[in-house]
Amino acid sequence: MQKFTVLTGLAAPLDRANVDTDQLIPKQFLKRVEREGFGQYLFYNWRFKPDGSPDLGFVLNQPRYQGATILLAGENFGSGSSREHAPWALLDYGFRVVVAPSFADIFRNNASKIGLLLVEMDGQLMREWLQRAQANEGYRITVDLARQEMLGSDGFACVFKIDPFHKRRLLEGLDDIGLTLERQAEIKAYEESHQEPWQAVAHGLTPRE
């Protein structure tokens, strides 16, 4: 997994609640079997008109937000489906951090597996950040994970909370599968002590008479 330590970058405000995964990455792009290249489809139906031309009214299409790496968002961000293509698309587009008052559970899990930092920000403070990013062109924020701190280019700052284990995983870029495979013996012991005859379907799903 990609590490996350400190990042200073341009912040883009997407001031909407309940941004769902169908918006983050519409289903027609889920047929690809690769993991890369989803950035071009991020917010596709908002970024592009039906004829394929960019919709200049959409915030991420504005010249001042090009190259943004920090997304400031509304509550319940990432609701809906389990598609990991949503955080893949955010990361591939260039975002490394999403700041929002709350995130949907599966989206949060998915982001945590690929090194996309989600910062949960109290609603009042969130308003502040959104307003500052809207009011000041070129507004940049430094996100320091070790110190759990956000510092804006105008000096506005705050701390944020994060689960300590998750923080360590991000700082060190730890791979979950690698960590779990160190626990082979425990998994085996569990399997040996839980052998109900109906548990396994050993013959695959060949039809039973």
Partner 1 sequence: MSTLLDKIWRSHLVRSQAGQPDLLYADRHLVHEVTSPQAFAGLRAAGRQVRRTDLTYAVVDHIVPTDNRAEPLADAVADAQLKALRANCAEFGVALLDTTDPRQGVIHVCMPELGLILPGQTVFCGDSHTATHGAFGALAFGVGTSEVEHLLATQTLPQDRPRTMAVRVGGALGPGVSAKDLILAIIGRLGVAGGTGHVIEYLGKAVTALSMEGRMTMCNMSVECGAKAGMVAPDETTISWLRGRPYAPQGGDFERAAAWWRTLPSDPGSRYDREVSLDATAIGPQVTWGTNPGQVAEITGAAPDPAGLAGEQERASALRALDYMALKPGVPFRDVAVDCVFIGSCTNGRLEDLRAAAAVVGARKVSPGVRALVVPGSGQVKAQAEAEGLDRVFKEAGFEWRLPGCSMCLAMNPDVLEAGERCASTSNRNFEDRQGRGGRTHLVSPASAAAAAVTGRLSDPRQLI
> Which residues make up the interface to partner 1 (CB under 8 A)?
16-18, 20, 22-23, 26-28, 30-35, 45, 50, 74-76, 79-85, 87, 102, 104-106, 109-110, 113-114, 163-165, 176-177, 179-181, 183, 186-187, 190-191, 194, 196-202, 204-208
Q: How far is the CB of 173 from partner 1 (least distance, A)?
A: 13
Q: What distance in Å separates the CA atoms of residue 58 and residue 65, rounded to the nearest whole number?
A: 11
* Nearer CB in complex with partner 1: 17/146: 17
Q: Which residues contact 85 (CB under 8 A, 6 or more apart)?
A: 21, 25, 29, 30, 38
* Nearer CB in complex with partner 1: 28/66: 28
Q: What ranges in the chain are assigned the alpha helix state H?
A: 21-24, 44-47, 85-93, 105-114, 123-135, 164-172, 176-181, 184-193
For residues 114, 71, 158 and 164, what is the CA-based torsion angle, rounded to 10 degrees?
-10
* Nearer CB in complex with partner 1: 105/137: 105
Q: How far is the CB of 146 from partner 1 (least distance, A)?
A: 17
Q: How far is the CB of 18 from partner 1 (least distance, A)?
A: 5
Q: How far is the CB of 102 from partner 1 (least distance, A)?
A: 6
| Contact between residue 135 and residue 153 where contact means Cβ atoms under 8 Å apart | no
Taking alpha carbons only, the member of 12, 17, 13 closest to residue 104 is 17
* Nearer CB in complex with partner 1: 155/202: 202
